Amino acid sequence: MILSASIALIFALFIYLLRLDGVVGQMLDDAWYALLAKALATGNGYTLINSPTPGISPVYPPGFPLLLSLAYRLSPQFPQNLWLLKSVSIASMLAAGVVVYYYFTRIRALSHAPALGIATATTLCPVLVFLATSTLMSECVFTLVQLLAIFTIERCVQAQKKRDWRFALLGAALASFAFLTRSIALGLIIATVIYMLKERLLPATLIFVAGVALFAGSWVLYSRLHAPTPEQKAEMSDSYIIRSYAEQFWDKLAGHKAAGRVAPGDLPARVGENMATIATQDIGAMIVSPMFRGLNQGLGERQDTVRLLLSILLSALALGGYILAIREKITLAEIALPLSLAIMVAWPFPTFRYFVPFLPFVIFYVGMGLCAVYRLRGKGSTTLPTSDLRVRWAMIAIVAWGVAALNLYSNLDYIDRKNADTAKGRPLWIRTFEENEALLQWASQNLPADGAIAAQNPALAHLYTGRKTISLDNPEGNWEMWNRLGVRYIMQTSPIRVAEPDASESQYKVIYRSRGGLNLRITDLGPPSSRVPWKK
């Protein structure tokens, strides 16, 4: 048992190392995470150090940047420290595999084979490997901390009166850190309270609530007291990094104010669309990764009938397995999952990255669903007596190891393309970043230090150049502010092709243009005291 688990863990590490690359910031969010980590590591506090005005606080919770800042302290040179920053997520995924194994053996009473299969499939999940090795996103750390919190609370319930207060306090700390990593952990916190009350553990519930109020509540209070002022919001073009979640909830697409706003009457349609996406795409991408290659590389893809029907079938199996699990015993996962799903479908953003941390439970439910189908076909009953546990373990193992094999294939396919002989054969994600990085490196070496930059990716621009940066948004409306802040350069970076300069931008000199197909460029607006004003 120990040998096979160790081999699986070492093999997973090997896959992560082969997939590791130098890409960062193309998700935008991960550039902000790195910048905030740098701010903490350099003693500037949890602020946007790229901004010309010091002391602007972000809306992002600080959990993940805090972990990254520890790596930043060990190696402060960016991007040379990128491998160390990414090692936080890689280590989290390897540890998550260990937690998954112990959870399913000790809490779900699975045997070694199915538990190790679920753990291996989770660790090798292509989108989580992608997020760990090709971005600096927080999903991998969140996956680990959420699993640890669920496992700890289950141990609290098992302990009953003996040491339940210790597990309750530890569970509060873990659930709070999950919330401070991704706010969607609010569903886990509420679910834990419900679950512990159901188990009649009132003292432990009170300890848990008090712990969450202390650990997570202090951040909520701090963030409200240090919310950006209207002037600070204007300086950052009211970017999603400083807009509250309450404001973003009413966006058509969270964080993209320009996409428009919705009314309360639009919410049912949003919920319905997100639920349909989970059923017709997300679950399929989690279980049959080779057929959803775009989603598993953080990209969108066009849906087709085969993928749609396959995902619906797997969703039906997962739902059936979930119902079967509830009929036998309700654990924390059976409460946390629907509450978290309620948040996912209500939030105006693609659901896949929010849902994928629940992968081990989805695999388990699909296996349980397959077991239910087997029982219905065989004996007309979905109830499995103890003597039939081996049938259950076999069904779950078949699903788990099948998913693990498909995930391995997806990873090997990506590694093969990463090492392709021709540039066009390599992953688009890497090729587009290399064109962006060439611009950033040129800017770092050639731009004078006396001018701020208006950039599409202000966090990444600051990390590479050290210059003060603001968001590139509404130049005409923000022109007076740009003059006041000393903005001299426009930096067009993007993973997709940038449009040609319009008539207003064409008034100024382009001092750098990328050689690839993205049309990236840097424009010199000239000194604020003498340049012509921006106009349409």
| Position 469 in a domain | yes
Question: Collapsing DSSP states into helix, strand and coil, what is residue 455?
Answer: strand
- Asked if residue 98 lies in contact with residue 106, where contact means CB atoms within 8 angstroms, the answer is no
Look at the chain and report how many structural domains it folds into: 2
| Position 60 in a domain | no
Say yes or no to pLDDT of 530 above 70. yes
Question: Collapsing DSSP states into helix, strand and coil, what is residue 523?
Answer: strand
User: What single letter denotes the amino acid at residue 301?
Assistant: E
Same domain? For 340 and 397 the reply is yes
Which has the higher per-residue pLDDT, 502 or 441?
441
- Over residues 35-54, the mean pLDDT reads 95
- Over residues 308-332, the mean pLDDT reads 94
| Position 288 in a domain | yes
Tokens representing residue 267 in the block: 């919410």
Q: What pLDDT is attached to residue 467? A: 94
Say yes or no to pLDDT of 35 above 50. yes
The string of DSSP codes covering 489-513 is EEEE--SSPPPPP-TTGGGSEEEEE
| Position 444 in a domain | yes
Parallel, antiparallel, or unpaired: how do β-strands 452-455 and 469-471 relate? parallel
198: number of Cβ within 10 Å: 13
Give me the helices (H) in 164-266, please. 164-181, 186-198, 202-215, 217-225, 230-235, 245-248
- Asked if residue 431 lies in contact with residue 297, where contact means CB atoms within 8 angstroms, the answer is no
Residue 453 φ/ψ, nearest 5 degrees = -120, 135
Q: Give the strands of the sheet with 521-524, arranged side by side.
A: 469-471, 452-455, 487-492, 521-524, 509-513
Q: What's CA 498's distance to the chain center, in Å?
A: 26
Same domain? For 404 and 432 the reply is no
State which of 365, 393, 415 marks the end of a domain.
415
Task: Report the helix count and the strand count for the chain, using DSSP H and E.
Answer: 23, 5
Say yes or no to pLDDT of 386 above 50. no
| Position 36 in a domain | no
Say yes or no to pLDDT of 163 above 80. no
Same domain? For 363 and 490 the reply is no
> Which residue, among 383, 382, 369, has the nearest Cα to 316 in the 3D structure?
369
Angstrom distance (rounded) from CA 117 to CA 5: 10
Same domain? For 394 and 458 the reply is no
Same domain? For 479 and 382 the reply is no
Tokens representing residue 411 in the block: 């990873």
| Confidence at 387, pLDDT banded by 50, 70, 90 | very low
Write out the residue range of the structural domain in which residue 213 sits.
14-25+86-415
Say yes or no to pLDDT of 279 above 60. yes
Which has the higher per-residue pLDDT, 259 or 311?
311
Q: What pLDDT is attached to residue 255? A: 81
Angstrom distance (rounded) from CA 472 to CA 458: 8
Give me the helices (H) in 380-454, please. 389-418, 428-446
Residues 106-150: pLDDT tens digits? 999 999 999 999 999 999 999 999 999 999 999 999 999 999 999
| Position 314 in a domain | yes
Angstrom distance (rounded) from CA 85 to CA 320: 40
- Asked if residue 68 lies in contact with residue 34, where contact means CB atoms within 8 angstroms, the answer is yes
Q: What pLDDT is attached to residue 528? A: 86
Among all chains, which residue has been given the structure tokens 């699986």? 8
19: number of Cβ within 10 Å: 20
Same domain? For 411 and 432 the reply is no
User: Burial, 207: exposed, middle or buried (Cβ in 10 Å; 0-12, 13-18, 19+)?
Assistant: buried
Residue 452 φ/ψ, nearest 5 degrees = -80, 165
Rg (CA), the chain: 24
Same domain? For 403 and 509 the reply is no
- Over residues 18-24, the mean pLDDT reads 96
Tokens representing residue 498 in the block: 């940038």
Same domain? For 143 and 269 the reply is yes
Say yes or no to pLDDT of 161 above 70. no
Residues 174-226: pLDDT tens digits? 999 999 999 999 999 999 999 999 999 999 999 999 999 999 999 999 999 98
The overall average pLDDT reported for the chain is: 91
Residues 242-271: pLDDT tens digits? 988 989 999 999 888 888 899 999 999 999
Same domain? For 199 and 340 the reply is yes
| Confidence at 332, pLDDT banded by 50, 70, 90 | very high
| Position 347 in a domain | yes
Among all chains, which residue has been given the structure tokens 């654990």? 331
Same domain? For 177 and 228 the reply is yes
- Asked if residue 493 lies in contact with residue 469, where contact means CB atoms within 8 angstroms, the answer is no
State which of 383, 415, 447 marks the end of a domain.
415
Say yes or no to pLDDT of 453 above 70. yes
Say yes or no to pLDDT of 275 above 50. yes
Angstrom distance (rounded) from CA 503 to CA 533: 12
194: number of Cβ within 10 Å: 15
| Position 50 in a domain | no
- Asked if residue 318 lies in contact with residue 344, where contact means CB atoms within 8 angstroms, the answer is no
Task: Say which residues have a Cβ less than 8 Å from residue 340's Cβ, sequence separation at least 6.
Answer: 184, 187, 188, 191, 354, 358
- Over residues 396-424, the mean pLDDT reads 93
Same domain? For 366 and 463 the reply is no
The distance between the two most distant Cα atoms of the chain, rounded to a whole number of Å, is: 85
Question: Collapsing DSSP states into helix, strand and coil, what is residue 527?
Answer: coil
Burial per residue of 459-490, b for 16 or more beta-carbon CB atoms within 10 angstroms, e otherwise: bbbbbbbebbbbbbeebeebbebbbebebbbb
What percentage of residues in the chain have a pLDDT greater than 70?
96
State which of 415, 442, 457 marks the end of a domain.
415
Same domain? For 437 and 389 the reply is no
